[in-house]
């Protein structure tokens, strides 16, 4: 069954490398090739002036960041260490519940194939629901909601009589729905929390630590021989404990994501339990949501055409070769706005975007 997946190795040569990773690793020529290719696909122009400015950024970044990062960088600074430990614990508690519920499903009903089918089928509606909620309410709130609901539903099965097979199965299916959704969110959320230079290392480390939970699954399921719902309660407790750990992580929704180790250390400091609600309030006050809708509507209507003579790639814009470039945080993050700060940054303080001081706002 897994032999066809060997063909996926061919995608190694077809899939382009992440430009953020190329930027973090200072692979300037590969980055420029990718930018030229992307500009061509989007019908834009990427001129020599933009590329020359990009060289200045890359030269600055190469002096401020180490050429390579290791697993030790995840634990070297206090904030990065805290986030790494929390992400690993949440992932551990989540995958323990997810895999444990998946493996334990055939024992919950006389028709084991039916119970297993239901446990798998319930994941299908979970993912669209998660996609909608994470786009509207961020990452942290839906993750907490799904984990706490899944955990409570699993724990509640303890109070049901063992002969109430249908009731236990119903609680199990609902719990699996929420746990499946949270498993999807943690994979997305963890990738956004780790800075670009250690994202692969961080995800690999947390996933490896989390596999300890998979190893514990068979031992926990063995307890069901004497008390059928006890494994469900244990998996539920894992999910509930993971929920409380999520509260100590920062929200990444509509945030300027970290790319360097220094940014990773600073990211999330000063956040609170209700950070996502403050973000929504700030965005509403700034009218960012309406601005985004206006941009999309105008682009759909074709009102923004006729600007192809401008050098554009995302927010990498150069119109006047003589004009000094600045990094405008608000303008740059039109897609992922960060309304808390509107102070322009020096062009050498960030390699993520170049904006002219006179760049027109849509």
What pLDDT is attached to residue 61? 60
- Beta-strand ranges (E) seen in the chain are 325-327, 345-346, 355-356
**Residue for token digits 């899944």?**
150
Write b or e for each residue in 259-281: b if 16 or more Cβ atoms lie within 10 A of its Cβ, otherwise e.
bbbebbbebbeebeeebbeebbe
What single string gives the DSSP state of each residue in 31-53?
HHHHHHHHHHHTT-B--HHHHHH
Residue in 297, 310, 318 with CA at minimum distance from that of residue 43: 310
What pLDDT is attached to residue 104? 85
What pLDDT is attached to residue 307? 40
What pLDDT is attached to residue 249? 92
What distance in Å separates the CA atoms of residue 165 and residue 110, rounded to the nearest whole number? 8
The burial class, CB within 10 Å (0-12 / 13-18 / 19+), for 286 is middle
pTM recorded for the entire structure: 0.68
SS3 165: helix
| Mean pLDDT across the chain | 75
Contact 351, 262 (CB under 8 A): no
What pLDDT is attached to residue 311? 36
**Per-residue pLDDT tens digits of the chain, which is 362 residues long:** 677 778 878 777 778 887 777 876 777 788 888 888 888 888 887 777 777 777 776 666 665 555 577 899 999 999 999 999 999 999 999 999 998 888 888 877 767 888 888 889 999 999 999 999 998 888 999 999 999 999 999 999 888 887 888 888 889 899 999 999 999 999 999 999 999 889 989 999 999 999 888 888 888 888 888 888 888 899 999 999 999 999 999 999 888 888 888 888 988 876 656 666 566 666 665 555 444 444 444 444 444 444 433 333 333 443 443 433 333 433 433 333 333 443 333 333 333 333 334 333 33
């Amino acid at each position: 069954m897994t032999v066809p997946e060997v063909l996926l190795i061919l995608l190694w040569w077809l899939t382009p490398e992440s430009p953020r990773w190329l930027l973090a690793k200072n692979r300037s020529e590969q980055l420029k090739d990718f930018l030229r290719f992307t500009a061509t696909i989007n019908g834009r122009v990427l001129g020599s002036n933009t590329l020359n400015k990009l060289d200045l950024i890359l030269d600055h970044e190469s002096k401020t960041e180490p050429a390579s990062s290791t697993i030790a960088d995840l634990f070297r600074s206090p904030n990065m260490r805290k986030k790494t430990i929390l992400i690993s614990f949440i992932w551990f508690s989540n995958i323990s519940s997810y895999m444990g519920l998946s493996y334990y499903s055939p024992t919950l009903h006389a028709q084991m194939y039916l119970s297993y089918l239901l446990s798998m089928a319930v994941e299908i509606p979970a993912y669209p629901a998660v996609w909608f909620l994470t786009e509207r309410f961020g990452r942290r709130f839906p993750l907490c909601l799904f984990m706490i609901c899944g955990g409570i539903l699993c724990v509640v099965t303890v109070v049901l009589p063992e002969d109430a097979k249908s009731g236990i199965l119903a609680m199990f299916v609902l719990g699996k729905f929420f746990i499946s959704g949270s498993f999807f969110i943690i994979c997305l959320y963890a990738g956004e929390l780790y800075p670009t230079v250690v994202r692969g290392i961080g995800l690999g480390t947390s996933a490896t630590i989390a596999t300890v939970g998979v190893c514990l699954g068979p031992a926990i399921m063995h307890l069901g021989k004497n008390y059928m719902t006890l494994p469900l309660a244990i998996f539920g407790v894992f999910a509930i404990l993971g929920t409380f750990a999520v509260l100590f992580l920062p929200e990444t929704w509509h945030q300027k994501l970290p790319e360097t180790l220094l940014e990773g250390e600073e990211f999330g400091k000063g956040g609170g339990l209700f950070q996502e609600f403050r973000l929504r309030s700030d965005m509403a006050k700034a009218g960012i949501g309406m601005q985004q809708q206006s941009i999309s509507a105008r682009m759909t209507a074709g009102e923004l055409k006729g600007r192809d003579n401008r050098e554009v790639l995302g927010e990498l814009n150069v119109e006047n070769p003589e004009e000094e470039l600045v990094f405008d945080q608000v303008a740059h993050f039109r897609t992922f706005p960060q309304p808390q700060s509107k102070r322009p940054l020096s062009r050498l303080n960030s390699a993520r975007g170049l904006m002219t001081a006179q760049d027109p706002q849509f």
